[in-house]
Amino acid sequence: MNQMTTNLTPAGRATVADLDPTDGLPAAVNRRSVAGMNIPSLFESLEETAYDLAVLAGEKLIDALGRQISVRYKDERRGIMAPHDVVSEVDEEIESLLRRRLAARHPDHAVLGEEGGLGGAVGSPFTWTIDPIDGTSNFVNGLPFYASAIGVLLDGVPIAGAVWCSTTHVLRPGVYHARHGGSFRFEGRVSTSGSRLAIGRERRLSTAPAPHKHREPGWDHRNFGAIALESAMVAAGVLASARTSSSRVWDVAPGVVLTQAAGHEVWTQGGDRWEPFERFEEPERWQQPLLFADADAVTALRVGALAL
């Protein structure tokens, strides 16, 4: 990322389009949320579904640790960097399972997955996004930094999402989840910042795709190879910011909901200008950079004190 002194639009929180979670939407009746409370709106019901699917995906990922798996590569690159885009049989098994669950629970919704593309009730205003394993290369090599990401869009606006992460701010696997207009939660409980209380700390952490500086005044940069996990860490307060060079909807839709529910900001790049994210136009084709950041990181980017 170039320094953003002139590229950021005027200050203001990046939010989805203004939506009333209950306006014109039927209430879910006699349902319970993951926090054990009655569900008064459809948005909360969708958050519950996303949470349930993320838990299921996590169980399948943990089960896969004890068995041999098969992998293949989707790209047709040639030369020293080939092959590149890896997919495992576990990716396909999880996405197929989640699609079946969604077809049973929300048969009138569309589904957009990394492996299976667009399906379900195509044309519905509701579209579920599935990345069965974000960080598949990490997964197939045994590096425990990967996630399973489930989101749902209403006319392109992310309204609910859940991310199962192989590691979390409490040093174990778990699910971060949220809905538009609701609180950022971890395992059903409202979550506060997971940032370690460290007296004397003068450097914060961010992530960015290569090539990027590893260190600059006040900041250290990392790349975990799993933007769904990284965006969840921004929402949790562990990372100050996370950036992608070219995201697909299934990678980042739930992270948008988590980050905004935590009170942080999401920006996207159109041409040479970064601006607050609003919606995914044409979700199946959407492919742009995204930035997830807390207020301090956005301020540092704006004044040129942080250049990813």
Structure tokens at 29: 């009746």
- Supply the pLDDT for residue 79: 58
Query: Which pLDDT value is given to residue 81?
Result: 55
pLDDT at 10 exceeding the cut of 50? no
Q: Pairing relation of β-strands 86-88 and 71-73? A: antiparallel
On the question of pLDDT at 152 being above 80, the answer is yes
Cα four-point dihedral sign 295, 236, 113, 157: negative
- Asked if pLDDT for residue 138 goes beyond 80, the answer is yes
pLDDT higher than threshold 80 for residue 193 = no
Which range has highest mean pLDDT (18-22, 191-195, 226-230, 241-245)?
226-230
Tens digits of residue pLDDT in 98-113: 999 999 999 999 999 9
Q: At what angle do helices 42-64 and 89-105 cross, to 10 degrees?
A: 150
Distance of CA 205 to the CA centre of its chain: 18
For the CA atoms of the chain, what is the radius of gyration?
19
pLDDT tens-digit profile of 78-98?
Answer: 555 556 667 778 899 999 999
Element (H, E) at 101: helix 89-105
Structure tokens at 297: 């990181």
CATH number among 3.10.129.10, 3.40.50.720, 3.30.540.10, 3.30.70.2340, domain 42-302: 3.30.540.10
Lowest mean pLDDT: which of 31-35, 77-81, 97-101, 152-156? 31-35
Within 10 A of 36 (CB to CB), how many other CB atoms are there?
7
DSSP codes of every residue in 119-165: EESTT-SEEEEEEEEETHHHHHHT-S--EEEEEEEETTEEEEEEEEE
Return the residue matching tokens 């089960």.
63
